[in-house]
Amino acid sequence: MRRDELCGRLREAYSPERGCGVARVSRAEYDNIWFVVPPEPPRDIPANMPRGLIKRANDLLSSRPHWKDASPRDRLAAYLLAQREALSSSRMEGTWSTIDNLLTPIDVYDEGEGPSEGAAVRGYATALGQAMNIIEQNGAEALNVTLVSLLHEIFMSKDPTYTYRAGQVRTPGGAGDVVQIGGGGRKEEAIYNPTPPEHVARCLEDVMTWMRDDIVIDMGDAGMGLALPVRMAIGHAHFESVHPFPNGNGRVGRMLWPLQMMLYGRLPLYLSGYVETHKDAYSSALQVAQKQLEYHDIVAFVCEAILASHEEEMITKQAIGRLPEQWSARGRFRGGSSAARALELLCETPIITMKMIQKHLGVSAPAAAKAVNLLDDAGIIQERTGNRRNRVFAAEEVIAILGRPFGEDPDMTLGGL
């Protein structure tokens, strides 16, 4: 990152009075490298905003159900798409798993307690669920440094590539205290040099204080300030500018989006699938925001992500919602039978055992076995293990719909099964 790539406000040397600028780090190997100390996020509407896109995205978010009033089908879709979110967000950082892994109950698929990529992705989904519970209980006050550190600790403690202390922000002299983004390990060719460790704690507190500020939120929601899509975009750009952890910042930053939607009182959308599909445009927009303090591109990108992710959610929800009726016609099950009652359960828990069917449906072992045989004969589930005992069954159509690339037609996906 060259100093002349920065706007005038950031190009000047940092001072406490200015509150932002470039600064050195006290490490000899970085003698010729400048690092960016970002300003606090703006409280007024920046110039040159994509107002039409903002209105469309904000109207869409406003039309979504309150998370407390969401229907069972909406809640099911939100749960399933949260698992997909964990995959997409983790995959962008090089941490891989599968939708099968995430949807397999932990008592069926036990990968041990040690770090692994699968455990890290499961940890992301777990962290997101815990954060939503915390936001539900405590409101905006929960959107703080303690929360982002907790989220980071939950999933990065399971990441086998992470060699630092999970949940700990960068501090001077600590392991991983100086980071650069891009450049393939060549210091002079980095794309961006985030906040020096001496300033990380203060800058992170500035961002999180801004995110939960009642005046910023209330003015924006009243149409007299920064609307939610704008807050999501600007907050994300500043969080990533600070880059508070040695690694895992992108995942935490993207996790903050659904949490901000929850604070708005709406059932969250998950945007990482769109970001993954358009990662070059995302990276470009983020750099403009970070280096130039110009927010048009990142705001437009987040608005487009909201619109596209809503459409993706509707298509996915409809495709999965149609399956029980299609399965019922395929199997011609007797009304009220265990097999018929299991159809909705398979949408919620597409990887299942006979014991789970017994428990959820409250039926005997013979009734569960009969249901499994009927479902298997109809091609609704398939046995995964090849074992005679402790068998695991999967509703492959649900898994295929959730595992398809963002934007792909579910019918095309199912046609390939």
CA–CA separation, 7 vs 372, rounded Å? 64
Give me the residues of the chain with pLDDT under 50, please: none
pTM for the full model? 0.95
- Please answer whether residues 123 and 157 qualify as being in contact, where contact means their C-beta atoms are separated by less than 8 angstroms: yes
Helix (H) or strand (E) holding 380: none
- Please answer whether residues 255 and 272 qualify as being in contact, where contact means their C-beta atoms are separated by less than 8 angstroms: no
Beta strand 351-352 with 35-37: parallel, antiparallel or unpaired?
Answer: unpaired
Domains and CATH numbers, the chain: 41-311 (1.10.3290.10), 332-415 (1.10.10.10)
pLDDT tens for each residue of 197-221: 999 999 999 999 999 999 999 999 9
Helix (H) or strand (E) holding 263: helix 249-263
CA–CA separation, 403 vs 239, rounded Å? 29
Ordered alpha helix ranges (H), 64-211: 72-91, 99-103, 117-138, 145-156, 197-211
Please give, one letter per residue, the 3-state secondary structure of 7-53.
CHHHHCECCCCCCCEEECCCCHHHCCCCEEECCCCCCCCCCCCCHHH
End-to-end CA distance of the chain: 47
Q: Cα separations (Å) of 41 from 19, 20, 208, 300?
A: 11, 11, 10, 17
Q: Show the CA angle centred on residue 100, arms to residues 98 and 101, nearest 5°.
A: 70
